[in-house]
Structure 1
């Protein structure tokens, strides 16, 4: 850890950042401000902080004045396995497959009726730039054992549970009735069968049915619940019904089972929901319960602060060093991506070298992250070197790399290379390869080629999910092809494909891009009014930003209020857009400081500049004369 902090500290000194002598050695990740769509990144702290006189028992994160976040040596949850492969594993005991933390694509959806709780995806609340690293967090899996991050697993046919098939084939969506019938017919209901069925449901994102299965098992006392079973149920409740219901469920769990696995599961869901306050509250609760320090919890904090408050990354690194918590492969991935997002290529390369020095061989995900940042930084040759390394000399033998290579070659504008990689896949494509190809052709403005891949998907698979439709819809959005986008959504409806938050988001952005913000607003309002699923944060922000550019204070405030109504806590990003609406309208913003304070939002340097412009009591040369 010392090597990691030492190697990247020089770059930060050049940025002129200092928060105290004892803290400076690990402030290597304090980054200059970057705005990535919906994710706010704060600038410098309003005051310098010295850690030289902090009590040894407790480390206060005082870089955010409004945060009461604290750590001591007892404050982190259990060790998590670190896996670098994108493939899921069959996990061994009981409900352990349910220990996987929620992904960025699986933010919880509140106020959902049981009959509509199938395959719920609220979409990422993080930026598209973060999707390379965050949607698949098997690296943060909540398993007891830690696997070799460099282990390569061969493709294999996944087992399908007979119970799972029975649940799917039963008329309607009532899992309880399907289970009653299953037991009545004398079928096996062993823990192994239940575990496999639950795994099948989760892999297909059928979280609503998985929750019904868990509820039925507990109600009928078919198995003796363990801490992991309760954690599984907690994770599903959080995904489907929201964090508030999940917290209430924790209170219902027997005290003897309310251990480390329970709280780290809740913490992971808070992080997935980007709920900074709740995550820090859970963290401090774990401290009070004297759980041991682990890399899993530290990685969760790094992930959260990477999205919302990069200043605190250095504090987590310092704490990890003090507690002798070794960085994992996922830790390095987060740090490399953070450096890349701030355009600190030298710092990114230093972290990469430190990772190798520490004996962790960078996998394809790390190389993909670096290649993407090289490409966006104009370092084409460096990106190409990494891409060739990822190919491994024989792309047919390394077929698993194709889905990663396709969008990266497109990022470099290399049409021939995208065609070459796709040729390896086209005779027998996999779903993820098709989605990557559609994205790649879209980036290269090859709309017909993207549509051809989608048509091949329609012919190959009986039914496509809304996520798969959303990829092509995003291509249409990026090219402002409104008519084609509307036709695609109609095709979805005709195919009885569920139209949920991902599609709403794509439609909203499609109408916004074509200048029809009122239509986008209407679509989102109708979607939210159904009270089944929670629209994505980025959907609201796309509309709010457009109103803000117009200087439309009324509608900007309306969107701000509606976001709160559906359950989104206030963020810096929302206030930035709202204040900009007042600036563009050349109107004072009365009470804005008080509103931010009540929401525990501390302004960044950029927002401070905006607030100065809308301060109704600011002094001018004329006002001084009149006073």
Structure 2
């Protein structure tokens, strides 16, 4: 762990700022460290019960963020697949709508789901924060540490072979109107249908995979109220997670008080912790972590990884605090821990530090998986180290792309980022005879990066012929290509085709539309589309959708509309992001107008400016004195 902390320290000239950091010392056999939230200044520190030792912070000038999303059977996290060239916190889609699966059965199932009026019940907190940037060079890998209910493998083992592919309970839930799921469940039981834990788990699994958290919550509430299931801690934790997603963190916290004390274990609290992290609420996350310490729960690698994710987004200097805590508590880092650190170093353009962490990981007997290899390759590409990137890509292929077919999805956009059209064509040829939807989307993105619009369109048409019913996620992939190339007319035609197909439109599509109009110079139109979409569908737009518009207003020096967008983002729950304040301040700078009370506004949101933001604040300080004003005084 010492080697890991040493590798995490970037070059001296990359230091952003130094704050006092304190770490706890061992009280007896086990150190009693905790994150203590200081109400006076909002600075979270690792504090000692008996004493303290000094700690070098994890300094980093990194820009960008990881993602955190709810997987189908556990909390999942991904260290993002984002270009290091992007600005800090420039977030991306990650919105997994009703995905069209490769099998015909799933296609039929999804088509019936699309017709349901579910919008008011769907809550997507994680799509707002740190999803992958659309580079497509990463592969989603669940962090299977928080088992809220049976995994798919466990379910299929318990069910008869002939029932493995479907769930009668799930179909009954999907057949019911959005707000009458509980009535449908009553009827389902009255008809004498079997209701056992594997059946319930499979239905819940399918609902979560489609991010239909509102229906999943109704199912959980019905199970508890009718006592159809003897709840164990995992069931309460699953319910807590759904409440957080649908109704917010405060309601989730209130629900904990209703859970029997004997069931308020470590799983319950780490579920709440993960949701606090997903919402980027550092204060609540630290409070939950402290609560877990007070309750004497063991410090797990899952909890530490959640803090690493949080600080990777909000305060990279605190990453070293978490690493020291892990070292003192003898918490061994997992592959996912290394993945977070590797991506953080890559985004700070500290390639040397990134390589050192990889060596430390290997020394601990952990080999890079496909996700880590993709992250390394991406950072090598954007760091100008093309030879190193190509070497990693060849390693990912493993000498035989056909045998390592699962790597194609990551390889396509990475070869495109290198500008290697021949390699993209070669990899796509492996998939072309029988591609899956993810490979098709990766190919569309890759051809788009290479400015080969016709090839991208051909892949999309292939998808339409193969699966007939596509989700908005698939349309949006091509829509982004049009947006990046300012092809407004083609984008409008694609949106019309999408509407004619009866496809359910969500935040992913809105984001692509917003960027389409922004790139075409029609910012007001993009603003109008986003506002209407959010009001009509009662769903939360992506952070990047708001920022694309706000950036344009800031560039114009349009303070009024920049403030309006800032306010709308707060109403949607996007609070406490340095990126928002930097853009807002830039609007004042370009307008050559003072920004009264900006420092106080940032402090109220527990936001502390970095070097760049501090320089911006000086420019809009209404009370700063220039050389000329000093002379006149």
The reply to whether TM is greater than 0.5 is: yes
Aligned twin of 2:260: 254
Aligned twin of 1:78: none
Note the C-alpha offset of 1:591.
1.2
Aligned twin of 1:160: 166
Structure 1 residues 396-427: Cα deviation after superposition (integer angstroms, max 9, x where no partner): 11111111111111111111111111111111
2:300 is the counterpart of 1:297 = no
Report how many residues are paired.
567
| Maintained 8 Å contact 1:234/1:250 | yes
Unaligned runs of 5+ in 2: 50-67, 79-92, 98-115, 152-160
Find the residue that maps to 2:552 and give its secondary structure.
helix
Note the C-alpha offset of 1:176.
2.2
Partner Cα distance (1:144, 1:357) in 2: 33
| Maintained 8 Å contact 2:274/2:306 | yes
Give the TM-score of the pair, scaled to structure 2. Answer: 0.83
Find the residue that maps to 1:15 and give its secondary structure.
helix
Find the residue that maps to 1:270 and give its secondary structure.
helix
Aligned twin of 2:154: none
Aligned twin of 1:34: none
Partner Cα distance (2:335, 2:117) in 1: 38
| Maintained 8 Å contact 1:267/1:282 | yes
> Cα gap change, 1:542/1:65 in structure 2, threshold over 3 Å: closer, same or farther?
farther
> Cα gap change, 1:268/1:460 in structure 2, threshold over 3 Å: closer, same or farther?
same
Q: Give the alignment of 1:29-428 within 5 angstroms.
A: 43-45=16-18, 47-49=19-21, 57-58=32-33, 66-71=41-46, 98-101=73-76, 105=94, 115-117=118-120, 121=124, 123-126=127-130, 128-129=132-133, 136=140, 138-143=142-147, 159-170=165-176, 174-428=180-434
Aligned twin of 2:557: 551
Q: Among 509, 512, 518, which residue is 2:518 paired with?
A: 512
Partner Cα distance (1:477, 1:65) in 2: 46
Partner Cα distance (1:16, 1:431) in 2: 41
> Cα gap change, 1:170/1:526 in structure 2, threshold over 3 Å: closer, same or farther?
closer
Aligned twin of 1:23: none
> Cα gap change, 1:369/1:62 in structure 2, threshold over 3 Å: closer, same or farther?
same
| Maintained 8 Å contact 2:137/2:412 | no
| Maintained 8 Å contact 2:136/2:445 | no
Aligned-residue CA RMSD (Å)? 3.2
Note the C-alpha offset of 1:274.
2.0
| Maintained 8 Å contact 1:482/1:511 | yes
Partner Cα distance (1:237, 1:60) in 2: 25
Structure 1 range deviating more: 367-376 or 478-487 = 478-487
Structure 1 residues 84-119: Cα deviation after superposition (integer angstroms, max 9, x where no partner): xx9x99xxxxxxx654258783699xxxx9943566
> Cα gap change, 1:489/1:617 in structure 2, threshold over 3 Å: closer, same or farther?
same
Note the C-alpha offset of 1:528.
2.4
Partner Cα distance (2:13, 2:406) in 1: 40
Unaligned runs of 5+ in 1: 18-42, 75-85, 90-96, 148-155
| Maintained 8 Å contact 2:128/2:542 | yes
| Maintained 8 Å contact 1:551/1:581 | yes
Give the TM-score of the pair, scaled to structure 1. Answer: 0.84
| Maintained 8 Å contact 2:22/2:46 | no
> Cα gap change, 1:252/1:490 in structure 2, threshold over 3 Å: closer, same or farther?
farther
> Cα gap change, 1:501/1:483 in structure 2, threshold over 3 Å: closer, same or farther?
same
> Cα gap change, 1:442/1:426 in structure 2, threshold over 3 Å: closer, same or farther?
same
